[in-house]
Chain A
């Protein structure tokens, strides 16, 4: 389903070249729950950004559902992000001026769904994350855990096949983190593939497979499906 082969990402300035990913290879099958761990600056977020089509890569190949991502135009990449991928960010990234309903509505607007269909989906996912009574609250009126639930609802509203989560519990206390992780597990059980970046080993263990990233390479992996033979 997701297949990266020897993907590299280099950030260049006039005088500095930074290798964020080096010959990064990974395959994730449908329905998997994969955690990606590693120290700060190891390339976890770069990997997630590339996986989520938010960034382009310098070398290698990346296929999503058998489609070569490097051949897609910006418009096609946007469509893939909108239809196949859901994002959960560490700091929730809700739009503060929009209420919960309208925040969840954002990706659906770009899908071009009819109003009734959007409303049905929004109400369903907000109910699912347990915030049915807060439809018209602003993000500032919710706790951190509730805001992350809204972000999860927004990611799920488009019924994506992939959920990419970047430190989804990083800004939450342990009780809220547990509750969010339980929600993610539930979502995964319903068939959605999840790739979660975290630096917390305890959370990573909740995933069926853990990938460890160091210096931009896959360095080890419990239950590693396909790991790169990283060579320095």
Chain B
């Protein structure tokens, strides 16, 4: 019967082309507006590493000012100090752990005709690559031994490898960065976790860094981070060692833990660590350590901006207005066909058959609205890209994947079905004898 209803639906659309076109347009505009914002919300709130998000934990230790929290109401700082980061790293209580921070370095190409250029660099420990499931095009990350021996090794992003080595396998080649020579151990394939979960302090939607080199080398070369550095206690002096030993938070610590037991044990370890530091005169605030997995951390950091949530609400409201219009149009259309409904009822159609016929027709209209709505969503995203083109990360937010395409169609069909409920119910109530004499 469904094929018959689809056929009747198509016929009904052809029978009232203007009304049908208005309904399709109302749904399409509503879906376009709604899906544009939903798409941005979806990209912003997506799981950047779904295969590992439940075993990766971001660590927070409340080493902050005794007189005020790092953030109201009682939040610990969202990064760690060098002292704590290296202590946790050394303890190696998790299955794997990574300490990292971002900096800007200057690459000096071998070709003298090519001018040196700046790159975003990440100083990280060796577990960064396996923990975060970083895909490699060539080679791999460095071994832990490289961390220990301060080996000057480097991993390149795909783009910079294209730029410096023409996209060839550059493993074993050397690269000069800030006057220091590094040996390439690997080239990362396309990798764009959105949001950039491992360091949201440097822009959760910014591109990942272009080069990666050992944390220990970075510290030895006194490479300062260019992300947020927050301090609550004055430093002894402006020197590097004073900075490293300060209460300034400027690096991110992640640990890999499997299951609730490991998480509980690690929390116990963190508490014990903080207690031991308290005995040394640090950590003046009450115990307030945090372990958040990836999605908890994204929620904690409110990665989806409040204004996007407000826009989402408005977009949904707009869709509702469009659907109210659709209800009116559908009602007008169905009432115009009350004679047809009476006749079908007289010839044996039950109320449920009439309901099915008009619901399917609404679904066909919804499908049409959804398909056009996808086009309008694409236009909406392009519009946002043009409007906010100066923001580097905007490109990462305005793409539409197949999940969103399907979601747009599903939302359109469901919206149309929802809008059709009342008119269809009215259609079912049309009396079989009501219109037969006047036909």
Contacts and interface: CB of A to CB of B under 8 A. Distances in A.
A106 interface: yes
A170 B14 CA distance: 31
B351 A106 contact: no
B433 A54 contact: yes
Contacts of B344: 106, 110
6 contacts: A54-B345, A78-B350, A82-B348, A97-B14, A110-B349, A154-B347
A41 to B, nearest CB: 12
Contacts of B347: 81-82, 87, 106-107, 110, 154
Interface string A78-118: 11011100010111010101100000001101111000000
A111 B433 contact: no
B439 interface: yes
Interface in B339-360: 339-340, 343-353
A55 B432 CA distance: 7
A52 B346 contact: yes
A109 B350 CA distance: 12
A172 B187 CA distance: 87
B431 interface: yes
A172 to B, nearest CB: 16
B350 A74 contact: yes
Nearest to A167: B437
Contact of A95 (B14, B340, B436): B340
Given A93-B343, A97-B15, A45 B437 contact: yes
Interface of B is mostly: helix
Given A97-B11, A97-B15, A110 B350 contact: yes
Nearest to A74: B351
Contacts of B1: 109, 112
Contacts of A75: 350-352
A49 B439 CA distance: 15
A55 to B, nearest CB: 5
B402 interface: no
Contacts of B351: 74-75, 78
B117 interface: no
Interface in B381-439: 431-433, 436-437, 439
Q: 4 closest Cβ contacts across the A-B interface?
A: A82-B348, A54-B433, A78-B350, A110-B348
A109 to B, nearest CB: 6
Nearest to A76: B350
A158 B347 CA distance: 10
Contacts of A45: 437
Given A90-B437, A107-B347, A110-B347, 18 more contacts: A55-B431, A55-B433, A74-B350, A78-B351, A78-B353, A79-B348, A82-B347, A87-B347, A89-B436, A93-B339, A93-B343, A93-B436, A93-B439, A97-B15, A98-B11, A107-B348, A112-B1, A154-B347
Nearest to A90: B437
A17 B431 CA distance: 19
A93 B433 CA distance: 12
A90 B439 CA distance: 9
Contacts of A109: 1, 4
Interface residues of A, number: 29
Interface centre among A97, A110, A111, A154, by most chain B C-beta atoms within 10 angstroms, is A110
Contacts of B431: 54-55
Nearest to A164: B346
B348 A111 contact: yes
Which residue, of A52, A82, A109, has the highest number of chain B Cβ atoms within 10 A?
Answer: A109
Contacts of B11: 97-98
Nearest to B428: A74
Nearest to A84: B348
A60 B346 CA distance: 22
Contact of A83 (B348, B352, B436): B348
A132 to B, nearest CB: 22
Interface in A111-166: 111-112, 154, 158, 166
Interface string A42-64: 00010001001011000000000
Contacts of A158: 348
A54 to B, nearest CB: 4
Contacts of A95: 340, 343
A78 B348 CA distance: 5
Nearest to B351: A74
A78 B345 contact: yes
Contacts of A98: 11
Interface in B318-368: 339-340, 343-353
Contacts of B436: 54, 87, 89, 93, 166
A89 B439 contact: yes
B405 to A, nearest CB: 33
Contacts of B439: 89, 91, 93
Contacts of A87: 346-347, 436
A83 B344 CA distance: 14
